[in-house]
Structure 1
Amino acid sequence: MRILDEYGLPDLTMRRLAAALEVQPSALYWHFPNKQSLLAELADRIVAEMHAVSTEGDWAARVRTEAFALRAAMLAHRDGAELVTSTFALGLGSQAAQDSLAAAITAGGFDDESVQRATTVLLHFVLGHVEHEQQRQQYRALGVHGDQIDDQRQEGASDAEFAFGVDLLVGGLESRRIRG
């Protein structure tokens, strides 16, 4: 995790990891059959940093809290969203993030198909939004400027945009529940 945070995902190589551990790169394959399984383990550790959410209270508040917890866990690590997204896309790693979101949505009384679809959409939103946030942070750190990167943006703007997106999805779910 330290190498990921310091150098980023592109520079997290088996050679660099082996050197940091003072072992031969081939020794790593005793523990991980390939680099993707190593990355899946790191992604699982990032997702595991989501703080436990109370199962009490309003389902919508739980969904919001779970989404923000996943976002915070990924933002805590350089390239965290890219790593979790690629692991998810490959079907590797645990289902902890999906399970947490699904449990919160299920508490709203939705049928299984709606829970599965809503979980997928919400997860895609969280992953995409955080990946975009982290890319902007990296470009700013490199001194890249342009129309797409507004250095004048307020620090809380990304929080507000994220909250708006989650609220939009939760509101849509609530609307379907009321109509259904």
Structure 2
Amino acid sequence: MATTRLDRTLVVDTALRLLNEVGLEGLTLRRIAKELNVQAPALYWHFKNKQALLDEMSTAMYRRMYETYGDLGDVTWQERLIEVHRALRRALLGYRDGAKVFSGSRFTGTDHAGPQEEHLRTFVAAGFTPSAAARASFIAYSFTLGFVIEEQSVEPRPGERAPGYDVTEREERMAAEGYELSAEVSADLFQDYEARFEEGLRTVVAGIEATLAPAGSR
């Protein structure tokens, strides 16, 4: 077998490209090694296991996400929270199973701390304590990650729909069994994710305003 000069960046870039083809379940170190035309043990010099690779992939996804919004300038905490999590959703949707890869992974460096520091400063300037700012951010992050995991279970990639999520078929099946309200909400549950995300994110922001935000920043 021919050899390829490996480094971590090449492995991660290859893994992210393959992710769109085979999904998280099909992404194995052996499959990546085959794509790189090397023996599988060669990858273990760089990543001790699949989770270590997923951690590096998530770090690369975050870096690319940050490049899409960069410096937001002088914005309110509400605007920052919305823009950052819009960018996160876009980044996750850029990869098949992107949200599952991101979930539970650990960043492999500290370069994310710069954007995080800037993010927290916006909240603190509005009167939040650092602790309340962190909790508010985590709430929005958890909503976004969970939303995209569900979204990608129905639409793994833009324009692609997983089997079993035909809205019309679900409406007819529920109605035929007498579940009229369940039939009526089929479209609300399984399509138009862009609008649903915006609605949900603004609901999260409103909830944070009502529970964690200092009165002067609402």
Q: In the alignment, is residue 75 of structure 1 matched against residue 127 of structure 2?
A: no
Structure 2: unaligned runs, 5 residues or longer: 1-15, 171-181
Match of 2:208 among 173, 176, 180: 173
CA distance in 2, matches of 1:18, 1:40: 18
Gap change, CA 1:40 and 1:144, over 3 Å in 2: same
Deviations 1:37-64 (A, max 9, x none): 1111111111222221413122211110
How far off is 1:143 after superposition? Answer: 2.8
For the 8 Å contact 2:19–2:96, the answer to whether it is kept is yes
For the 8 Å contact 1:81–1:127, the answer to whether it is kept is yes
How far off is 1:105 after superposition? Answer: 3.7
Gap change, CA 1:171 and 1:158, over 3 Å in 2: same
Report the equivalent of 1:59.
77
CA distance in 2, matches of 1:72, 1:112: 27
Describe the SS at the equivalent of 1:145: coil
Q: Which runs of 4+ in 1 moved over 6 A?
A: none
Report the equivalent of 2:28.
13
Report the equivalent of 2:161.
141
Structure 1: unaligned runs, 5 residues or longer: none
Q: TM (normalized to structure 1)? A: 0.83
Match of 1:108 among 103, 109, 126: 126
Match of 1:45 among 60, 72, 75: 60
Q: In the alignment, is residue 159 of structure 1 matched against residue 179 of structure 2?
A: no
Match of 2:104 among 76, 80, 86: 86
Describe the SS at the equivalent of 1:141: coil
The percentage of counterpart residues that share the same residue type is 31
* Cα root mean square deviation, aligned: 3.0
Structure with greater contact order relative to length (CA < 8 Å, sep ≥ 6): 1
For the 8 Å contact 1:53–1:66, the answer to whether it is kept is no
